[in-house]
Structure 1
Amino acid sequence: MNLTSSIRSAFTPQGALRASINLGNPILACRDADGAARGVSVDLATRFAALLGVELELVVVDAAGKSVDVVVSEQADIGFFAIDPLRGEHIAFTAAYVLIEGCYLVRDDSSLRANEEVDAAAHRVVVGKGSAYDLYLTRTLQQARIVRSPTSPTVVDTFIEQGADVAAGVRQQLEADAHRIGGLRLLGERFMVIGQAMGTPKSRGEDAAAFLAQFIEEMKASGFVDEALARHGIEGASVAPAA
């Protein structure tokens, strides 16, 4: 990787590398016992800052939409997002480094048994506001009504409180909530596969975007991403194939 002073400057206009970390996706990040952010995205941000030879500052948020906003507004220099064409208007994405599953959750006594039954006018589907699931289902659901929870981790609680029909989100988060609450089940199959990528504002230039893309490919090829998933006990997510 050919790191030039102009590329370093493109990523660090404030001196340090500011990385947006979204705690709303447990696959990517969470808080440890001391309250500090930890996870695969934090590990990647730390490694990238070391590559640039600069200090790292974490901009920690609780929802995907907020993470996008701080990068688009250039309050952060890099972020970790599900790839989506709407977000791609202002953010230059790498290829995916991790693939995760989006699933539906219903009550045990729900008549729903398959994904294709969800999109009906009588159904309300709860998603995290601004999440990849929100963006995707807004485009694809034709009849069901979408209800937006403030963040992805609050989706199931909102689903229960509002008596909605379906909750949509990261498989692992839904499974954990089903275990916590009881009386809930996942529909059998995923409704989407989400590619999680790194991104930087397009204003930082093509050379910076290409450098970040190369960094992600090396992190996948070297085993760093796979080791990070194992280190943080992440199950049900897989390293994305080479671009």
Structure 2
Amino acid sequence: MEHYPLHDAQALAPTGVLRATVNLGNPILARQDAGQPPTGVSVDLARALATCLDISLELVVFDGAAKAVDAVANERADIGFFAIDPLRSQGIQFTAPYVLIEGCYLAREASAFETHADVDRPGVSVVVGKGSAYDLYLTRTLQNAELVRAPTSPSVVDVFLEGNYDVAAGVKQQLESDAQRNGGLCLLPERFMVIQQAMGLPSSRGALAASLLQQFIESRKASGFVHEALRRNGIDGATVAP
């Protein structure tokens, strides 16, 4: 694995430690079993970058994307792993995406929801994870349905069931797992969005740091590192971005 010059490390991690956010709200990116350190493709990438910079790594763990975004935008962390969204670009510079994930709807099997058009109707309630990529996207695109925000993405289906709401929205893999856990639920047949997962750093870090992070993620895609990290962490249904 290549190593970057000292001034590159200072550009990306001026404190001398690479502080990387870990978002446990997205099971594609990371997970953490009780009493164990976080694992996942984002953790693997963070470790690889710290090795390239020849500095130590500090994982800053959050239960939702909005908290991780805030930490990087306000320089409490040096890098993060986020879905690209225009609202987030106000404080964060993004690389090109490294993984593509599907955003889907979940409903009760006995419901009348069959298509996306069925969802966006007056009186329909859609539960989303507060501050998630699909929350931001659906806030812009839904014209008639009402959004109900769960505290975190992993709690979406529980809020959906407890509140007897109409539809849950989220990352396909998370919804599939929740459907198996609860029974009587099904995913609508088509995705409503493609979530582009990228690395990000504070906008204030400047062009050199942004260029270095872009080069890093492109090299990890081209080398097969991202593909292998997905396989090693048992992630199905996510694809490496071109």
Query: TM-score with structure 1 length normalisation?
Result: 0.97
Contact 2:83 2:196 in 1 (8 A): yes
Match in the other structure for 2:161: 160
Moved over 4 A (4+): none
Distance 2:206 2:9 in 1: 12
Q: Which amino acid in the other structure matches residue 157 of structure 1?
A: D
Match in the other structure for 2:31: 30
Distance 1:7 1:54 in 2: 11
| 1:190 positional shift | 0.4
Query: TM-score with structure 2 length normalisation?
Result: 0.97
| 1:115 positional shift | 1.1
Match in the other structure for 1:60: 61
Match in the other structure for 1:197: 198
1:117 aligns with 2:118: yes
Q: Secondary structure at the match of 1:217?
A: helix
Match in the other structure for 1:210: 211
Distance 1:234 1:177 in 2: 16
Q: Secondary structure at the match of 2:189?
A: coil
Distance 1:198 1:104 in 2: 26
Render the CA deviation track for 1:46-94: whole Å, top value 9, x for unaligned. 0000000100000000001011011011110000000001101110100
| 1:8 positional shift | 1.3
Distance 1:223 1:57 in 2: 25
Moved more, 179-188 or 11-20: 11-20
Q: Which amino acid in the other structure matches residue 43 of structure 1?
A: D
1:88 aligns with 2:89: yes
Distance 1:34 1:67 in 2: 21
| 1:20 positional shift | 0.4
Distance 1:206 1:180 in 2: 46
Render the CA deviation track for 1:95-122: whole Å, top value 9, x for unaligned. 0000000000000111010112111111
| 1:33 positional shift | 5.5
1:51 aligns with 2:49: no
Distance 2:90 2:43 in 1: 25
Distance 1:6 1:121 in 2: 55
Contact 2:5 2:53 in 1 (8 A): no
Q: Which amino acid in the other structure matches residue 77 of structure 1?
A: D
Task: Give the fraction of aligned pairs with identical amino acids, expressed as a percent.
Answer: 63
Distance 1:226 1:129 in 2: 29
| 1:6 positional shift | 3.0
Match in the other structure for 2:130: 129
Distance 2:97 2:52 in 1: 20
Match in the other structure for 1:79: 80
Distance 1:232 1:4 in 2: 30
Q: Which amino acid in the other structure matches residue 170 of structure 1?
A: V
Q: Which amino acid in the other structure matches residue 132 of structure 2?
A: S
CA RMSD after TM alignment: 1.2
